[in-house]
Structure 1
């Protein structure tokens, strides 16, 4: 079943590319034509590519791993953050810190620092500090929350990245390449799709276009999470049945022993009966 249609892509303005003078020649395979100095993206190829990306990302999520959403451009921030939160996936929407993937251990220390500040406020230590110290800690907490709040639950490197505008997020792309982390991205006509594992040729500037493509990826993630949940429930059910069968086994064995004992007693009775007749 298709997750979107040609008409949906058309209505969202996914086909509008950049000015012809700003294009990247490596995007030529995804360009349908040029109109009024603007490149028009081939939506048939977009449809194929978005379905491929959705199917692949579904399998990643089904295996229990996380997908990191990256969108620091103004028109994509809120859209991507809201969608990522809806499926409990990590996201970066403020600024990509250099080394966020390649130096993940240091990033984890900053996240831990944020949680330590939260502990201070809960155990009463925070209230014992001076006003100046409290203000400094509060400012630091806000800064950490802004930069790292979206990845506070990310305990290990993500299994994949989903990016809006690979040109703007080139540092994230290069770090993912170094670590062999698969990348999924909306790629406009001014960008290079060669470094992206699953490029989706689409307008990455219009909010409608960003929202539509991101929603398709989110639907695929939801499907993956649902299937994983069902599989876990089936496994739990099988384990429960196996445990019950194992628990019932001793009772069955005892029943078998009792049956054999009754048969033995009956057999002994039959052998003793003729002896009694002989004595008479």
Structure 2
């Protein structure tokens, strides 16, 4: 990360914000173009500072997200994850079904426990019928399993990288403080706007 660090003060690395601005412009254009092509995005960020904004931004641009915990094989073992998503869908339908009212209290408790667990970890993937075209990652160090799975499958990644990250593990990136909620909110909002603009462009061509 040395090329993207401006200086070091009191043991703290200061990011070169001019490079961050350049990267934001570049990544925004990439996201806009990919969105205009109808590509599907998966946002990943489970650290506390990122999770809320990850869910919000993904929802607002009709994308998918993982913001609680990355389950091993979410990409590389997609068939199994897809079955779990189907189970979650079935649970959701059953909970509003008359048949649900006829089971015992113990069965209801077990049912809700399984449903809640699936909802917590896979709720952001509901409606995703195939692997994403692009994975957007916040918190590379925490999401290394996601990074490696995307890399193994050849799925491009766009990452927000802090000074303790590895830029060679990301296809495109923006260097920024990933421990700051305001910093992440600012960057993710720019990503959101780029994706929405791409979608609008796609609509105008249809």
- What SS class does the counterpart of residue 8 from structure 2 fall into? strand
Structure 2: distance between partners of 1:45 and 1:215: 18
The equivalent of 2:83 in structure 1 is 109
Match of 2:185 among 211, 221, 246: 211
Match of 2:71 among 97, 114, 127: 97
Match of 2:105 among 120, 126, 131: 131
The equivalent of 1:122 in structure 2 is 96
Shift of 1:123: 3.0
Structure 2: distance between partners of 1:117 and 1:89: 22
TM-score, length basis structure 1: 0.72
- What SS class does the counterpart of residue 162 from structure 1 fall into? strand
- What SS class does the counterpart of residue 84 from structure 1 fall into? helix
TM alignment of 1:109-258, pairs within 5 A: 109-232=83-206
Unaligned runs of 5+ in 2: none
| CA deviation profile, 1:82-137 (whole Å, cap 9, x unmatched) | 11111111000000000000011110100100111122223311111111111101
- What SS class does the counterpart of residue 39 from structure 2 fall into? coil
Length, aligned pairs only? 206
The equivalent of 1:16 in structure 2 is none
TM-score, length basis structure 2: 0.97
RMSD (Å) for aligned C-alpha atoms = 0.9
Q: Which has the higher contact order (CA 8 A, sep 6+)?
A: 2
Structure 1: distance between partners of 2:10 and 2:94: 60
Find the structure with the greater CA-based Rg.
1
Runs of 4+ with >4 A deviation: none
TM alignment of 1:264-275, pairs within 5 A: none
Which has the larger share of helix?
1
